[in-house]
Structure 1
Amino acid sequence: MPPTPRFDRLDALRGLAMVWMTAFHFCFDLSYFRVIAQDFYRDPFWTWQRSAIVSIFLLCAGAGQAVAVGQGQTSFRFWRRWGQIMGCALLVSIGSYGMFPRSFISFGVLHGMALMLILTRFGFSRLPDIALWALGAVAIALPFLVQHPFFDTRTTNWVGLVTHKPLTEDYVPLLPWLGPMLWGFALARTEAVRDWMRRPLPGLTRPLAGLGRWSLSYYMVHQPVLIGALMGARQLGWI
């Protein structure tokens, strides 16, 4: 089967989020190594950046699913990619447990994305756009309106209706984060957005599209590289 055409602008948007994420994580790592003093858990300057980065990722994931459905992507290709995401999510949990045993990642962005992709592909993709916009708004609003202690445990906090943020280094529950994915799916089905995605990229932004095509691989290696570099710098006495 010939490869399906890609939308360079969608890949570039994902690549831009990867660059932003790298800068964010580099600053986080500098704080972890006590090179700088920043509160990444409570300072709005950092928490809002995290929310924006995750939102872009999920918007792109939703848009990518809309493109895949429109191009007739087979279930085999979907499940192959899903397996890669879920396998990487498990590696993130294992790796974070080694570094942060008390606050390891049990339901981070890859875990959340894996669940949301199934729900979107095999459930919500059948709905009209107006329903996707409405359900996305409900998903975003619901955690601010409904919380219960039942959802505060590590086995139930993946839903998102928690009374307080769990002790974990990355937390992307179903609610409210399903909202951006549904909105991304609805956006990519509108003709104006599809026309925008089909346009060629300006030359200087083309590397972002290449990065966006390898987003999962890049996501998995960027933190080990950053942390390894900072550990080396510390051993050499540079920091």
Structure 2
Amino acid sequence: MKTIFHSHADRGHANFGWLDSFHSFSFGNYYNPEKTNFGALRVLNDDVVTPSMGFGTHPHDNMEIVSIPLYGELAHKDSTGTNGVILTGDVQIMSAGSGIRHSEFNHSPDKNVNFLQIWILPKERNIEPRYAQKSYSPVERKNKWQCVVSPNDSNAVWINQDAYFSLSTLEPSHTLTYTLQTKGNGVYIFLISGKVKINDHVLERRDALGVWDVEGLQIDAEISSEILCIEVPMKI
């Protein structure tokens, strides 16, 4: 088993007033040659956007872009004709494929929105751009995994990659095992909140641990914890 630990304190940071963003990997003006990606996982940004502000229309291509609101609401509009709101509890994915233009704004006039913006390198390039969004109940992830992104699970949003996103809310003193879906994949465990132990590693809020060359791992919660596991191919 191989591991790499990413402390929350070592993330890149950019604050533009309307946007307060922490970068787990090199992004924008933040560059760390040791943190350019974890396999096919290219970007994991922890963004807080002030009321009614956001990202104006801009292009993407050949990237799988996942948005997970932690609190608040996002207004989304793109060139596929999608125009809607992403709520807390929703998971959104956009396959940029051959090219797409989109905008995202805080839908609220008086409350911040905090969301995870995650980019995955695609399996197949230049596919037709597509958009999907689903709502998930937090009750269904209590002390177990809730798969929200997958290439082959009809209950999850589809992704153009052999990648899987799973969420769990683990109660204190509970243990959860994660078994990798695909041989040769690795898993990036991002702790949204709480405190957990994975083998000899202790993770606290917004810490992350990348693990590969392993079939599975055990996560022990020391306090109530929210966990995101991102399983991705390691060879890209």
TM-score where L is the length of structure 1? 0.26
Which has the larger share of helix? 1
Structure exhibiting the larger radius of gyration computed from Cα positions: 1
TM-score where L is the length of structure 2? 0.27
Which has the larger share of strand? 2
